[in-house]
Chain A
């Protein structure tokens, strides 16, 4: 039983679907948490303290890292298989088939963009927060000389999104995630066998709605912190 998850196409797809579901649930949580940073920076820092270097936050981080690794590993295996199955000789002329989304044909590329963004994101935040706590550092010196506590997430957000290029990079990252999820979210239901002709329009609508909600939640924080530090009227109050 255990091996059909490694040696059968549908088993491998199930792993993709379940790891995808896990990542979607995590990202929903992460997005909700971030939005707090707009409403109340103090509240956000309280969450950061709660999710510091204690056993449950560390266990969560490890499980999450495993989830990403499994999802990425299987994505590579499946995509490589598919590349082989397509054969060496390709069509000279191709046309876009009606009703086929661009995202669905570019999931690996989108995923790799998401992964690269994730790498950068970890250096911006995780490396200055949980990692520092693990190293028992209670102060982090930022490039501009500012000294912050590793649990002061709001200060790190403000520091990171003061720079326009970080804002742009993060927005591109969110857009890639949006595309990935507009296909991924309904696709995971299809893979698990929970879909039919009645439910396709509903699942696709839900996928678009959820992907958009996630995008807006994340983008709002980034844009809010940029604008708040640059617009003269916001800076005044």
Chain B
């Protein structure tokens, strides 16, 4: 298959970027999207040009490092899949594909398609943890947890922190990410104890870092590669409001 790629190139955080057009040819339908970019970069290196910088790590859909806004969609076409899990068979031969970095004030571009998602780490550091001893593996059955609660917690814990939610949101809101973290811990007895403090601290950090206000459009859940539901946002709202009203 042959493709025309319109890729955002930007030398560094301070430079002004622009789209550059590239051609790639003889790509097999089973090539992954990132492999297709590897092939492009290989060609660029051979031509003595600067390869396109993009984020990736595990390439198996579990680390949350890959990003990219492809043809107007975070993580490209395909539901519940990270960019590394998108294959070129999702596109038509001869397609022009536009590739942009995440766009959100809190995620500044570092180079080309790479953005700084450190803001999410800062939100986690503000409260996305449980203060328990972690030196030895505890007995899995020491604290019985109802199946429904465990399932809901695990659904939320599937969040890989990729940033697609804020990148997709027209309000640049990080609510789905924060909600997933608050919800996954709030549903477990170990995390429940610090629930109020956690919700307040993480929301305060999220606001401080300049993320926007959620208006419940639901675009985040549509684009989340892990299918995290906005029901977790409702739980975050509950957790936060309850905590504030008790203060």
Q: Judging by beta carbons under 8 Å apart, are A86 and B237 in contact?
A: no
Q: Which of B103, B217, B241 has the most CB of A within 10 A?
A: B217
Kindly identify, within residues 68 to 106 of chain B, every residue whose CB is under 8 Å from any CB belonging to chain A.
69, 71-73, 79, 98, 100, 103-106
Whether A100 sits at the interface, judged by CB under 8 Å, is yes
Contact of B229 among A89, A98, A197 (CB under 8 A): A197
Q: How large is the interface on B (under 10, 10 to 19, 20 to 34, 35 or more residues)?
A: 35 or more
Given A10-B237, A85-B210, verify A187-B215 contact (CB < 8 Å): yes
Q: Would A8 and B72 count as touching, CB distance under 8 A? A: no
CB-nearest residue of chain A relative to B19? A92
A194 to B235, CA, bound (A): 8
A99 touches B210 (CB 8 A): no
Of B19, B168, B235, B241, which is within 8 A of A10 by CB? B241
Asked if A4 CB lies within 8 Å of chain B CBs, one says yes
Residue of B nearest to A198 (CB): B231
Are A190 and B100 within 8 A (Cβ)? no
- Cβ–Cβ contact B72 & A95, under 8 A: yes
Q: Which of B168, B214, B221, B242 contacts A13 (CB 8 A)?
A: B214
Q: Among the listed B71, B231, B239, which residue makes an inter-chain contact with A95, where contact means beta carbons less than 8 Å apart?
A: B71
Q: Which residues of chain B in 100-115 are interfacial with respect to chain A, using CB atoms and an 8 Å cutoff? A: 100, 103-107, 109
Q: Are A104 and B215 in contact (CB under 8 A)?
A: yes
4 further interface pairs, Cβ-Cβ under 8 Å (given A11-B244, A89-B103, A104-B215): A10-B203, A82-B171, A82-B172, A85-B172
Subset of 8 A-B contacts with CB under 8 Å: A4-B244, A9-B173, A10-B237, A13-B213, A87-B106, A92-B98, A187-B216, A200-B231
